[in-house]
Structure 1
Amino acid sequence: MSDLLYSLRYRFLVLVLLAWAPLPLVGQSVPLTPAQYQQDFEYFWTTVQDNYCYFDKKQTDWPRVRQLYAAELPTVTTRAQFVRLLENALAELYDSHASLSTNRPDSRRLIPTATDVWAQFVGSTAVVFDVRRGYGAARAGLQPGMELVAINDVPVAQALQPFLGRSLKTVDAAAREVALNLALAGDHRTPRKFTALVKGKPRHFYPDQDGLQLEHIGSSTLLESRRLGTVGYIKLHNSLGDNRLIAAFDSTLTTLQGTTGLILDLRETPSGGNTTVARALMGRFITQEQVYQRHELTAEQRQFGVKRSWLELVSPRGPVYSAPLVVLVGRWTGSMPEGITIGLDAMKRATTMGTEMARLNGAIVSYRMPNSGIGFSIPTERLFTPAGLPRENFVPAEYIQPSAAPADQVLEVALQRLGGRGGKP
């Protein structure tokens, strides 16, 4: 083997830096044999075993996963059954950056791409942390700070049980939080009902009462922009995986060159993107080549005991926008936009505002099983700030707690910071 990195990254895979949006499950014209299902499962299990880079912070017993799910393989006779087995096995990692390329109608929605609420535990109490502006949970009246007591009439403690892995040595806080948010995400066909306490009394919320909007998230435009007084504002529409964004961003930035400051809103970018687009955008704000993140490939160290890490650079590109810059982030800022945020922060080129981001682990690689053709993506590279902080642990410089206020408080604070005059968010 001439180069481990080559063999890891380019055989049976395509390197991407965003979580896949699952494709609809389609019929299988020729059923696989039991031996083929076994071969695909072994390929899946071994690939994760050899390349997944976050086992050290998980309670997952991956050899136990092999035992548990291999025992179920003799009952698998259809593609749909195999997809469910793979979903359950992958869920043992409780990692929202690990996913399949396909799904069933009763599969859970992807976190954070297809969710509209984020919750976390405060002790044993499930509390709404944030709701996604413009989507069902917010329209139904769910607000940050509310205590959740039931999901589809099932008490929260019971509702999350199906999403806790069977192989876990112990159920840690991270596993409970992922399970809670999977329960809240719902599946692709069932309307959700949340019960929360409002002034001490239970109240029901129906985020899907106007239809399953989360099944049709999308925008006809790559970005939106406007002037807010003397300040420019650019919001990306989850488009960091589309190379056309480079030209659209350049054109927009040209029209905003006369502004006294710029707000770059990354709060609606949950599906990640690619480094080409990310570096293109960051390159418009710097005058010299700079480091924006550090990579670490753990597979080589695991196999040979030799650590492999490197720094990634951003180069200046085009006319530089030199006025002050504020970057807005939140729970629906996922993967590549997290990289942009830590990069602009490390280069001391922007003030970051908002809350924790999606905290998606590392950079992912996508693989495809030899018989079924089912793809799966897992984090294989750890990502850090240039100073060594894990990307998933980054917190914006100005932390703004989500609130129930109808106004966009994060945008208001950004405008105040930039001294915007004469414009309203």
Structure 2
Amino acid sequence: MKKYFIFCLIIFLNKPLFSQENIYVKDFIYFWETFRDNYGYFDNRQTDWNKVKEIYLPEAQKIDNRTEFISMLERVIAELYDNHTHLLTNLSSSYRLTPSGLDIWPELENNKYIIKEVRAGSGADFCGIKPGMEIIQINNLEIGEAIMQITGKAINNPGKEVKEWAIRTLLAGNYETKRVLKLSYNGEEFIREPDKDKDTYSYFKYDTNIKSKILENNIGYIIINNSLGDETTVQMFDSVLNSIWNTRALIIDLRETPGGGSSIVARGIMSRFINEPMPYQVHLLPAEEKLTGVKRGWVEYVYPRGIMYDKPLIILVNHWTGSMGEGIAIGFDALNRAEIIGTRMAGLVGAKYDFKLPETGIGVSYSAEKLFHVNGTPRENYVPDILVEPDDKPGDLILETAIKFLNEKIK
């Protein structure tokens, strides 16, 4: 009996505090170190990344299944309050991506969460939600309580940016719970259910990458339907542009491009509007400076392609102009080739890199490169030339503003 006790004691004393055989611990450490060394925006976050490890490593030691691990990693990523950083897999309990899965854009004003824009053609739009309404509750939770529940534990003094990230995440909702919103407007409180008929993503299925038409006064109008990640969009754009070549002016609508895309597509579109090589955005890679002490950055150029369309040009943007859509907008501004009209954009930070966790194979996408307008403005801080604030009246105020501007220019 004594020998048996000594044998068990030896095993216990030689056992590490957590088992290195635990694949979830291994992958968490790999995840944490990859972000520590490569994430591009720690200097813009209020996040204590060392504290993140202190909080979540003990939790990882207790995890014994993939579902729990994915859920934990989602909460770790939430510590960065960065909508451009996410896992490449999800659970039914996962929040939809913002802005792709979001149909209501709120902002914090005087301690109230006010809707600034509603995505056209969405469930929120169809159930009568409008700009100017205040959000009181989400799924029977007071808004402040709901925000506290998803705000990271390692964020120092969560401010406006954190709270707005949280409210937008909550409003995007998850895949298993239909949203029930209590709103207030003009002194009246009421309930709206944007998911009552179908899921958010179901409202946005497109039959073509690009649509076009000719508006009154021979103004061309091209709509890009969330297809900036499809390289065939370049050839389709060429075809559409050729079909409306003889217009007096052109509007390119980027208000339904929340899903990001490829710089090949962005440069392919912009290249039809210049006649000499021109810079359109600046990149900075913080990880290299962190590793070597030497800063690395570069300027990306657009080169002319095909015959140049030289008539007046307008680019329409809104809060669903995301990632590469934002890159095109600041690019046209840098090229001094178009007027940008609309709301502020999605404000997604940086260019993304992807990696896979070695044990579980879970994919991760994160903001690695910082991106800037050629004038030095961070892409996420860009403000359109003509800023439009949507109101609660019928119609398309952003498009109407663009048409009015062009009619004055070409009369």
TM > 0.5: yes
Map 1:263-412 → 2, pairs under 5 A: 263-412=251-400
Identity %: 41
1:19 matched residue in structure 2: none
Residues 102 and 200 in structure 2, CA contact (< 8 A), matched pair in contact too? no
The CA deviation at 1:215 is 5.1
Structure 2 CA distance, aligned partners of 1:169 and 1:257? 54
* Counterpart among 189, 206, 210 of residue 176 in structure 2: 189
1:209 is aligned to 2:196:
yes
Larger radius of gyration: 2
Q: Which residue of 1 aligns with 2:13?
A: none
Q: For residue 114 of structure 2, what is the aligned residue in structure 1? A: 127
Paired residue for 2:75?
A: 88
Instruction: Output the amino acid matched with 1:72.
Output: E
Give the one of 64, 68, 71 matched to 1:77. Answer: 64
- CA–CA separation in structure 2 for the residues paired with 1:288 and 1:139: 45
User: SS of the counterpart of 1:204?
Assistant: strand
Bigger shift: residues 211-220 or 143-152: 211-220
Check whether the contact 2:260–2:324 (CA below 8 A) recurs between aligned residues: yes
Decide which of 102, 121, 124 is 2:89's aligned counterpart.
102
Cα shift at 1:163: 1.6
| Unmatched runs of 5 consecutive residues or more in structure 2 | 1-18
User: Which one of the candidate residues 80, 85, 102 is aligned to 1:115?
Assistant: 102
Distance in 2 (CA, whole Å) between partners of 1:407 and 1:309 is 43
Distance 1:237 1:58 in 2: 32
1:356–1:396: 8 Å Cα contact kept in structure 2? yes
Question: Take 1:109 and 1:328, find their aligned partners in 2: how far apart are those partners?
Answer: 25
- Return the match for 1:253 from 233, 241, 248: 241
Q: TM-score, normalised by structure 1?
A: 0.90
C-alpha distance 106-215 of structure 1, shift in aligned 2 (>3 A): farther
Structure 1 residue aligned with 2:224: 236
2:3 is matched with which residue? none
Partners of 1:219 and 1:332 lie apart in 2 by 16
Compared CA separation, residues 252 and 283, structure 1 to 2 (3 A): same
Q: Which residue number corresponds to residue 53 of structure 1?
A: 40
Q: Decide whether aligned partners of structure 1 residues 34 and 103 sit closer, same or farther in structure 2, where only a CA change above 3 A counts.
A: farther
User: What code does the residue aligned with 1:374 have?
Assistant: I
Runs of 4+ aligned residues of structure 1 deviating over 3 Å after TM superposition are: none
Q: Which residue does the alignment assign to 1:18?
A: none
Summarize deviations over 1:341-364 as a string: whole Å, max 9, x none: 001001110000001100000101
Q: Distance in 2 between matches of 1:216 and 1:64?
A: 40
Alpha-carbon separation, structure 1, partners of 2:80 and 2:348: 13
**Match for 1:404: what amino acid?**
D
1:173-218 per-position Cα deviation (integer Å, ceiling 9, x unaligned): 1111101111111101211111111221211111011121325633
- 8 Å Cα contact 1:225/1:233 also seen in 2: yes
Gaps of 5+ in 1: 1-31
Aligned mates of 2:28, 2:156 — CA distance in 1: 22
> Counterparts of 1:215 and 1:192 in 2: how far apart (Å)?
15
2:40 counterpart SS class: coil
Offset of 1:420 from its aligned partner? 8.7
Q: For residues 286-313 of structure 1, give each alpha carbon's deviation from its aligned partner in whole angstroms, at most 9, with x where no partner exists.
A: 0100000001111111122111111000
Contact 1:275–1:336 (CA under 8 A) maintained in structure 2: yes
Mapped contact 1:228–1:420 kept (Cα < 8 A): no
* Count of residue correspondences: 390
Structure-to-structure mapping, 1:140-159, within 5 angstroms: 140-159=127-146
Is the partner of 1:145 in helix, strand or coil?
coil
Query: Residue 228 of structure 2 aligns to which amino acid in structure 1?
Result: L
Question: CA separation in 2, counterparts of 1:207 and 1:389?
Answer: 36
| Deviation by residue 1:58-77 (Cα, 9 ceiling, x = unmatched) | 11011111111111012211
Contact 2:321 2:345 (8 Å CA) reproduced: yes
For 1:375 and 1:216, the matched residues in 2 are separated by: 27
Whether the 8 Å contact between 1:34 and 1:74 is mirrored in structure 2 is: no
- The question of whether the paired residues in 2 share the 8 Å contact of 1:235 and 1:265 is answered with yes
1:401/1:303 CA distance change after superposition, 3 Å: same
Larger RCO: 1 or 2 (CA < 8 Å, sep 6+): 1
Deviation at 1:415, TM superposition (A): 1.1
The root-mean-square deviation of aligned C-alpha atoms, in Å, is 1.5
**How far did 1:261 drift?**
0.4
1:413 offset after TM fit, Å? 1.2
Distance in 2 between the 1:45 and 1:313 partners?
Answer: 34
Q: Kindly provide the CA deviation profile for residues 226-258 of structure 1, in whole angstroms up to 9, marking residues without a partner as x.
A: 000200000000000001101100000001110
1:339, CA displacement in angstroms? 0.6
My pick for the range that moved more, 66-75 or 252-261, is 66-75
What is the TM-score of this pair, normalised by structure 2?
Answer: 0.93
CA distance in 2, matches of 1:76, 1:216: 37
